[in-house]
């Protein structure tokens, strides 16, 4: 091969190699581009659009997602977002248009929406650097229907409609403490709205556009992602019954506050939760229901803020109180479970007890005489429970406070759950043990009490309370399901059965007779507790009850704070309880027996023979 042929061959070989390398580079570049687009398409689009730099005016509007709807367990709406429109004025664009186009837009706004011409002209002169001046917000489609197409198609230069959403609460005040609201910054505040903000909010989209000499050239979108819907465990009908019962009793007991929770004791689902006073979720900052216009006008900002935060705060989960006699069934359960008290054993009440020079009275000055543990519950005898508490001792007492969950938060799926205040075991003396045994000198939250009470009547199992049943996306696909969480078994099924029937006896024979409803087996416990300072003699009265006794489906706690009546008693809480149960039980397809008298336990303890053989003190 001559030298010329050798050089020609070498040149062809090098050229082929370079071409091959070029092809490989192109292929790798294509793979990289595809990888970028697939892996981070949204960010890539944003970067590309942001680099569209020219001499034109560019705008970049956020597109608001639709916030998820909140439903009750049966699909009835508690909160929803409806589309509204903001009317946007663009002096930056309009000021560069022809005079006839400027006059056309200004005249339209003045004649149709009654804006001041001087205001619009001032914006054109002094805000010509701005492309986004909000003229009106939250306009319903009906308000702009006749002009919607003209504005959307840019018949009027420098004018635009931006979609937005308005949060609507169709039932106004209903379930206000649980739902919370959405503030002016479109953020959830309190309740479900804040607790599930990450699910409800959705993700913002963007609208990118380029405008040149007042003419629309290009519009590109990154679509918003709408929020998920929340289905609650709350039953709107039971919630209505509860709130109506509270309202109906306000004039009777004239309370400072009323609080109430209804649950399914078999799984921890919260069926209703209410309080008085409540507030209108559609206008949560409105104080006219509580103060005069003059008072509101002169109210310091700090006082107004404190009042609103107190109004929005959910006492049922956030605050504590002394449970009083509604705590006595827990002491009875611990004593029976640990075989520290015999079921036929009696305790003598003379009306008071003196411990270390401390005189502690029973509510009945003349005393109750001799009582079994069932009789002590029926009569809510403080002296008997002081003796029962002494028998179990502070170690067992504290252990069962922990087992029933009173030493820790319930982990209910709402923000702001409060902490209980219990005696430390090493600080408990005979007096503290005595007063604690009838539910005073320590504080717990209402949600702790009703959650623990469920374990007394459902076979002994403590469940985590919750208000969220499931979360679904806008296509109806399930995002998350709240599976009923069993925390632990606290007491045996046999002990739970005994306590359940003893609480039935409290209604049949004891202090809770007023809640009896013909044809229904109901159980419950009354409660009265003094508030601090004791010298003011202010009280919180309460009632905890359930039905039906054989298979409890509805557990209801009612607390009345400082009833303004001569003799505060749990009868006022019992009135609310009975009013709710009379309506809620038939609604839940739990119907009264026909032609059968309610069982009378006057002469015998529930299941006394069966349980005594196994759980009497040895």
Indicate whether 598 pLDDT > 60.
Answer: no
Question: Which residue's entry shows tokens 């309080």?
Answer: 275
Q: Answer yes or no: is pLDDT of 4 > 60.
A: no
Residue 363 or residue 193, greater confidence:
193
The answer to whether 413 and 192 have CB atoms below 8 angstroms apart is no
Question: If you average pLDDT over residues 43-60, what whole number do you get?
Answer: 44
**Mean per-residue pLDDT, 461-473:** 98
The lowest-confidence range among 42-51, 94-103, 161-170, 353-362 is 42-51
149 — pLDDT class (breaks 50, 70, 90): confident
Q: What's the pLDDT band for 12 if we cut at 50, 70, 90?
A: low
pLDDT for res 342: 95
Helix (H) or strand (E) holding 612: helix 608-615
pLDDT value at residue 218: 60
Please state, for a pLDDT cut of 90, what percent of the chain lies above it: 70
Tokens 């199992």 identify what position? 461
pLDDT of 599 strictly over 60:
no
pLDDT of 30: 76
pLDDT tops 70 at residue 37: no
Say what the pLDDT of residue 608 is: 32
Taking residues 472-483, report their average pLDDT: 95
pLDDT value at position 131?
83
Instruction: Indicate the DSSP class of residue 145.
Output: G
- pLDDT value of position 60: 57
pLDDT tens digits, 107-135: 999 998 889 999 999 989 888 888 889 89
What distances in angstroms separate CA 243 from CA 62, 369, 475, 555, one per listed residue? 40, 40, 33, 16
What pLDDT score does 211 carry? 55
Helix (H/G/I), strand (E/B), else coil: 319 = coil
DSSP 422-438: ---GGG--HHHHHHHTT
CB-based burial of residue 21 (10 Å sphere; 0-12 exposed, 13-18 middle, 19+ buried)?
exposed
Give the model's pLDDT for residue 93: 87
Greatest mean pLDDT among 122-126, 150-154, 264-268: 264-268
Closest alpha carbon to 139 in 157, 165, 160, 116: 165
Helices in 404-478 by DSSP H: which ranges? Answer: 430-436, 446-457
The pLDDT assigned to 594 comes to 81
Residues 425-447 have pLDDT tens digits of: 999 999 999 999 999 999 999 99
Residues 208-226: pLDDT tens digits? 765 555 455 566 778 899 9
d(C-alpha 599, C-alpha 433), whole Å? 35
């Amino acid at each position: 091969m001559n030298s010329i042929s050798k050089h020609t061959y070498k040149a062809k070989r090098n050229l082929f190699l370079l071409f091959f390398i070029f092809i490989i580079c192109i292929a790798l570049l294509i793979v990289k581009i595809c990888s970028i687009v697939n892996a981070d398409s949204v960010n890539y689009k944003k970067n590309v659009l942001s680099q569209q730099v020219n001499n034109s005016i560019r705008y970049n509007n956020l597109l608001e997602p639709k916030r998820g709807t909140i439903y009750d367990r049966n699909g009835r709406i508690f909160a929803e977002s409806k589309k509204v429109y903001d009317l946007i004025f663009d002096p930056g664009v309009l000021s560069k248009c022809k005079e006839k186009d400027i006059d056309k837009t200004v005249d339209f706004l003045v004649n149709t929406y009654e804006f001041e011409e001087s205001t619009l002209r001032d914006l054109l002169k002094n805000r010509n650097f701005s492309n986004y001046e909000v003229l009106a917000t939250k306009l319903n489609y009906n308000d702009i229907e006749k002009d919607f197409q003209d504005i959307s198609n840019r018949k009027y230069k420098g004018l635009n409609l931006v979609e937005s959403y308005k949060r609507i609460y169709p039932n106004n005040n209903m379930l206000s403490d649980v739902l919370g609201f959405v503030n002016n910054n479109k953020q959830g505040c309190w309740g479900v709205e804040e607790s599930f903000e990450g699910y409800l909010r959705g993700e913002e989209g963007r609208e990118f556009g380029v405008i040149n000499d007042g003419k629309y050239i290009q519009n590109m979108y990154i679509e918003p992602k709408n929020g998920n819907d929340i289905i609650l465990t709350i039953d709107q009908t039971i919630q209505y019954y509860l709130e109506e019962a509270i309202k109906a009793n306000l004039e009777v007991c004239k309370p400072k506050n009323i609080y109430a929770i209804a649950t399914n004791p078999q799984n921890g689902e919260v069926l209703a939760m209410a309080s008085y006073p409540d507030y209108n979720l559609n206008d949560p900052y409105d104080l006219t229901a509580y103060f005069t216009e003059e008072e509101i006008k002169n109210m310091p900002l700090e006082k107004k803020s404190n009042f609103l935060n107190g109004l929005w705060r959910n006492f049922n989960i956030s605050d504590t109180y002394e449970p009083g006699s509604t705590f006595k069934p827990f002491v009875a359960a611990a004593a029976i479970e640990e075989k520290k008290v015999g079921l036929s054993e009696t305790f003598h009440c003379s009306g008071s007890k003196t411990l270390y020079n401390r005189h502690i009275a029973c509510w009945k000055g003349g005393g109750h005489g001799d009582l079994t543990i069932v009789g002590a519950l029926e009569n809510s005898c403080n002296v008997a429970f002081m003796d029962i508490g002494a028998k179990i001792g502070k170690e067992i007492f504290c252990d069962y406070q922990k087992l029933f969950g009173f030493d820790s938060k319930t982990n209910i799926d709402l923000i702001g759950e409060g902490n209980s205040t219990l005696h430390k075991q090493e600080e408990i003396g005979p007096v503290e043990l005595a007063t604690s045994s009838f539910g005073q000198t320590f504080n717990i939250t209402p949600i702790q009490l009703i959650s623990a009470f469920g374990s007394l009547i459902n076979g002994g199992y403590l469940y985590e309370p919750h208000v969220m049943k499931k979360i679904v996306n806008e296509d109806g696909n399930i995002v998350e399901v709240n599976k009923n969480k069993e925390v632990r078994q606290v007491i045996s099924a046999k002990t739970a059965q005994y306590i359940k029937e003893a609480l039935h006896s409290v209604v049949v024979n004891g202090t809770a007779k007023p809640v009896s409803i013909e044809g229904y087996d109901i159980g419950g416990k009354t409660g009265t507790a003094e508030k601090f300072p004791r010298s003011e003699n202010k009280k919180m009265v309460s009632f905890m009850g359930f039905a039906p006794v054989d298979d409890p489906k509805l557990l209801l706690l009612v607390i009345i704070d400082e009833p303004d009546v001569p003799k505060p008693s749990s009868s006022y809480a019992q009135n609310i309880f009975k009013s709710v149960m009379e309506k809620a039980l038939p609604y839940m397809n739990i119907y009264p027996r026909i032609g059968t008298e309610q069982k009378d336990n006057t002469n015998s303890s529930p299941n006394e023979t069966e349980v005594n053989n196994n759980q009497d003190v040895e």
